[in-house]
Amino acid sequence: MTAAAKLLTLPFIINNYALIQTYRRCVPQKRQPWNRKPHVTASTPTRTDSARTPLAAEYRQQGTSAADWQRRSLAAVWHPCTQMQRAQAVPPLPIASGEGPWLKDFDGRRYFDAISSWWTNLFGHSDARIRAAIADQLGLLPHVMLAGCTHAPAVELAERLSALTGGVLGHVFYASDGASAVEIALKMSFHSWRNRGRPAKREFVCVRQGYHGETLGALAVTDVEVFRDAYAPLLMQAHMVASPDARQAHAGEDAGGPARRAADELRALLATRGENIAAVIVEPLVQCAGGMAMHDPGYLLAVRQLCDAFEVHLIADEIAVGCGRTGSFFAFEQAGPSSGAHAQVWPDFICLSKGITGGTLPLSLVLSRDEIYASFLDDDVARGFLHSHSYTGNPLACRAALAVLDHFADDDVIAANRDRAAALTTALGPLARDARIAHFRQRGMIWAFDVREEVLPDRFAERFHLAGRARELLIRPIGRTVYLMPPYLFDAADAAWLAERTVDTLDHVLRGSPAPDADRSPEPQTA
């Protein structure tokens, strides 16, 4: 059977499968091989003594210590982004509960979550409004598949997100993790061009130091060696162009210099390969995982104009920088004027995840422009976007996201964050003038600085993380870049505390390091 024929039979296969399922539910079934229980006996070994998961209060009563959880975790859990051999020496921090910006371990110690649990948390742990929304939805409809069915939370969330783009990006496609959203945007871009009679447009452009996730497609447009190199033989080839990273400014230049040079390099590539390129993917304003590299917003406008000129899609990966993190709900809003004679410039796709559920449930999504959506409409099934995941558009996660949007709508979060950002920037002021560090930078609710090579001790990131823990801080530097990305709920006193503990941690870790070059003046802030 050809691939096209297989696709044409797909709806019938699905319908027949549904009929068989219905029949099996209605008619008492003999024990068929497929409905026999797996063979379990009293002697079947289990990994723990208790047969069921205890409730929260019972966990507390059991009094299992942090050390016990560490030991059991290392024996059973394969942790992400971790060399498990090293984890024996530096075991994971067992967290029992969270409230506001604080996480608590099993021994009652607390930690300020200064990195919002991998940038997911917006309004603190266990936020009452998000919790109530999830609990309400749990009693109504925890899940239903989104192929052939729909539900209110998925519809309302799509409508409200689209409205935030002024209706320019009119449809939302759901998934669960950030990397899946990137895969979807890449596939959609290629397939849309193919449907429009341009199958040669099958190449992608990404930016040096960029990070888009770790599934194979997302990794192919990622430029972080430690994640990418082992899998390089498996990855499609993508074009990599210069980063607009403001730290690359020449003496006497501002952030506009590297942005212009990066845009020039992109222009040269599109001029030669544009016919074969489907999309350019960027992280607007801040390349986070690549080291919190910040750039001039003018770069985004330049990329938009180049993509228009060379008929190439623009994918804005706002998985880390969306949801208010950079000072506007979408980072791309800062690319150009939002009112007046010029219409707001928008990308063709926006990927969101992380903060969209306020750090509660996995949800990701891709917003796309109407003309892209329209390019998939056809009598031919194969011209549709047939991508799917089982938990696509999960109602609980969509309700959490709606509660997040309610926070933004009701609490003037963006304006309140401006005050918070000013307070923390002021409190961190001494760091900006510290000779041991370079490129103190800030954008919205992200702060970062680089520790100079000459004062850097061995295993700096790990030492800083551990010294931070001892000072009630949860921070994980990226190499020699220390960054803060706290939840949106601290006041001026918290900001002063956070800054003081960050400096204290740095002082501790750099104690004994060689003194920085006395003649060296502190570097200018870079973004």
**Residue 104 burial (C-beta neighbours within 10 Å; 0-12, 13-18, 19+):** middle
Dist CA 305 CA 173 (whole Å):
25
Which residues neighbour 120 within 8 Å (Cβ) at sequence distance 6 or greater? 354, 355, 357, 358, 359
DSSP state of 421: H
For ligand PLP, the closer CB: 120 or 137: 120
Closest CA to 480 of 507, 449, 504: 449
For ligand PLP, the closer CB: 303 or 320: 320
Using the rule CB under 6 A, which residue among 127, 245, 283, 348 binds ligand PLP?
A: 283
For ligand PLP, the closer CB: 288 or 405: 288
Stretch that binds ligand PLP, among 19-27, 97-105, 122-130, 281-289 (CB under 6 A): 281-289
Binding-site size, ligand PLP (CB under 6 A): 14
Upper half-sphere CA count for residue 372 (Cβ side, 13 Å): 31
Q: Which of residues 312-341 bind ligand PLP (CB under 6 A)?
A: 317, 319-320
Instruction: Please state at what angle helix 128-140 crosses helix 395-411, rounded to 10 degrees.
Output: 150
For ligand PLP, the closer CB: 177 or 333: 177
Residue nearest to ligand PLP (CB): 178
Q: Which of residues 120-159 bind ligand PLP (CB under 6 A)?
A: none
For ligand PLP, the closer CB: 269 or 316: 316
Q: Which two tokens stand for residue 313?
A: 């899609």
Q: What angle do CA 353, 359, 361 make, to 5 degrees?
A: 75
Dist CA 196 CA 458 (whole Å):
54
Stretch that binds ligand PLP, among 93-101, 172-180, 194-202, 371-379 (CB under 6 A): 172-180
Residue 409 Cβ, how far from ligand PLP at the closest point, in Å? Answer: 25
Dist CA 179 CA 219 (whole Å):
9
Residue 392 Cβ, how far from ligand PLP at the closest point, in Å? Answer: 15
Q: Output the CA torsion sign for 68, 71, 74, 76.
A: negative
Residue 5 Cβ, how far from ligand PLP at the closest point, in Å? Answer: 35
Q: Which of residues 190-219 bind ligand PLP (CB under 6 A)?
A: 211-213
For ligand PLP, the closer CB: 179 or 345: 179
Residue 44 Cβ, how far from ligand PLP at the closest point, in Å? Answer: 35
Mask for 347-386, x = binds ligand PLP (CB under 6 A): ------x---------------------------------
Buried (b) or exposed (e) across 312-321, using 16+ Cβ within 10 A?
A: bbbbbbbbbb
For ligand PLP, the closer CB: 170 or 355: 355
According to the binding rule CB under 6 A, does residue 431 interact with ligand PLP?
A: no
Task: Judge contact between 316 and 279, C-beta under 8 A.
Answer: no
DSSP state of 377: -
- Tell me which residues touch ligand PLP (CB under 6 A): 177-179, 182, 211-213, 283, 288-289, 317, 319-320, 353
